[in-house]
Amino acid sequence: MKIIMASKETLRIQAVSLHSQGMKVAEIARVLGRSRQWVHKWINRYCDGSDGWERSLPTTPSRKASKISSELEDMVVSTRKRLIESPYMESGAFAIWHAIKAAGIAPPSVATINRILKKNGLTSRKVSYQKSNIEYPDPPLNMQIMDLIGPCYICGGQRFYLLTIISNDTRHAGVYPILSKSAADITNSVVSFWKSYTIPDFLQMDNELSFKGSNRHPRGLGLLLRTALSQNVTPVFIPVREPWRNGVIERFNQKVKDTLLMQKHKDFAELCRHASEFTDIHNNQHHYSTKEHKTPLQLDEELDGPIVKLPPDYQVEERPELDCFNLNEIHFIRLVRSDHIISVLNTDIEVNPELAYTYAKAILLINEHQLLICLDGMVKQSVEFIMPQI
């Protein structure tokens, strides 16, 4: 039978009294209708020897939070609006923090800035991706990611595209306006980035036809692939219809759309100039929270080893020759579904049933005419894959 107490304090005193009489904690908890954790808590409080141990501690903060001054609030709000109105600039809490600090003023905490933005209705809702439970291969080091934006139009109706490319390690980026999706325009833009920045070990992209080659000759290597392989760069293709696998450049592209593409460009030459300005501001002033709030140029300075660029006088050849002694590989990351079929260069490949519902990496060995199906770094299957003469 449970004992009914007149107050919380009396109940706590009785718990300690029963414990001093030798009753076990579990039995006290049963009799008083409380949890064992509750009984232990008040026994320990009693054993501490403080007066008034049976009384509840105050739940109000011992110190009131300091009120945000109107000057501080105005500074955060004005900085936010100035960054929003400035072409190409980030305008989140971290960007505001860096902007205030750069002005020689001690900035409030990022949490305080977020509270001020919320109070003044200056926050924006973010949409996050839903992650799959299927393991996805980790990205390699020294990888760049490229993508296309468009078609877009200048005032007057002239059509153009933007070739965007970004380092997965440092977020150093480039934006190149082009007039078509031709292999030549795309490849020359990538080469321009390698001349000004560095040549990567891997170049990741989606399955855009302009990147691969042509449907007429699906296993023929297009200009971009040949140029990359001639510089010992391994092309990597993400899964079909999964653009979120290029999340780094997709987020960068959204910033390009929200800033650069919202500007008015009277002609293509002005667009190219604006794109160059955007790139300079991004690489010099954008602080990445996922990179310890450093800018791309600050991250560049921390790179190990020399930065290898293409020579300034390098010209894209019509059909770059490949060295048959080089390790010429192309990587394809593919989701293996229930039918156990993956597509590589418009060719259906049946893989082992054990790979169903996994992201397998298909490594095309051009010189050996072999396709290796790998999972977790281990070769699970080898398939003959005849390629044209290089």
Q: pLDDT tens digit string along 64-118? A: 656 677 778 888 888 888 887 776 677 788 788 888 888 888 888 888 888 888 8
Note the maximum CA span of the chain. Answer: 95
Distance CA 198, CA 167 (A): 9
**Backbone φ, ψ for residue 56 (5° rounding):** -70, 140
SS3 314: coil
Q: What is the pLDDT of residues 151-201, one digit of tens each?
A: 999 987 899 999 999 999 999 999 999 999 999 999 999 999 999 999 999
For the full predicted model, state whether its pTM sits above 0.85. Answer: no
Beta strand 159-167 with 173-178: parallel, antiparallel or unpaired?
antiparallel
- Whether the CB-CB separation of 227 and 320 falls below 8 Å is answered with yes
Same domain for 165 and 250, yes or no, is: yes
Same domain for 148 and 16, yes or no, is: no
How many C-beta neighbours within 10 Å does residue 140 have? 15
More confident site: 298 or 105? 298
Q: Is residue 310 in some structural domain?
A: no
Distance CA 235, CA 384 (A): 20
* Domain span including residue 37: 8-47
Query: What strand order describes the sheet that includes 329-336?
Result: 173-178, 159-167, 143-153, 202-205, 234-237, 329-336, 358-365, 370-375, 378-384
SS3 99: helix
Same domain for 203 and 83, yes or no, is: no
Same domain for 279 and 164, yes or no, is: yes
- Closest alpha carbon to 357 in 372, 339, 371, 343: 339
Same domain for 195 and 249, yes or no, is: yes
Q: Is residue 113 in some structural domain?
A: yes
Is the pLDDT assigned to residue 124 strictly greater than 90? Answer: no
Same domain for 106 and 16, yes or no, is: no
Total domains present in the chain: 4
Same domain for 28 and 156, yes or no, is: no
Q: Is residue 112 in some structural domain?
A: yes
Same domain for 343 and 283, yes or no, is: no
Whole-Å CA distances, 237 to 37, 141, 246: 55, 16, 10
Q: Is residue 56 in some structural domain?
A: no
Same domain for 269 and 196, yes or no, is: yes
Q: Quickly list H helices, the chain.
A: 8-20, 25-32, 36-47, 70-85, 93-102, 110-119, 183-196, 209-212, 223-230, 247-258, 268-285, 296-300
On the 0-12 / 13-18 / 19+ scale of CB atoms within 10 A, 181 is middle
Q: Is residue 59 in some structural domain?
A: no
- Closest alpha carbon to 220 in 346, 318, 327: 346
DSSP run (H or E) holding 65: none
- Whether the CB-CB separation of 360 and 342 falls below 8 Å is answered with yes
Q: What is the pLDDT of residues 316-358, one digit of tens each?
A: 999 898 887 787 999 999 999 999 999 999 999 999 999 999 9
Q: Is residue 173 in some structural domain?
A: yes
Q: Is residue 125 in some structural domain?
A: no
pLDDT of residue 2: 46
Q: What tokens were used for 134? A: 């299927």
Last residue of a domain, one of 84, 119, 154: 119
Q: What tokens were used for 382? A: 């080898």
Same domain for 202 and 148, yes or no, is: yes
Q: How many residues can be counted in the chain?
A: 390
- Whether the CB-CB separation of 174 and 309 falls below 8 Å is answered with no
pLDDT of residue 250: 95
Distance CA 166, CA 172 (A): 6
Same domain for 152 and 248, yes or no, is: yes
Same domain for 114 and 258, yes or no, is: no
Mean pLDDT of the chain: 88
| Range 1-4 contact pairs with CB under 8 angstroms and sequence separation of 24 or more | 2/31, 2/32, 2/33, 3/31, 3/32
Last residue of a domain, one of 119, 135, 159: 119
Q: Is residue 34 in some structural domain?
A: yes
Query: CA angle at residue 310 from 254 to 307, to 5 degrees?
Result: 80
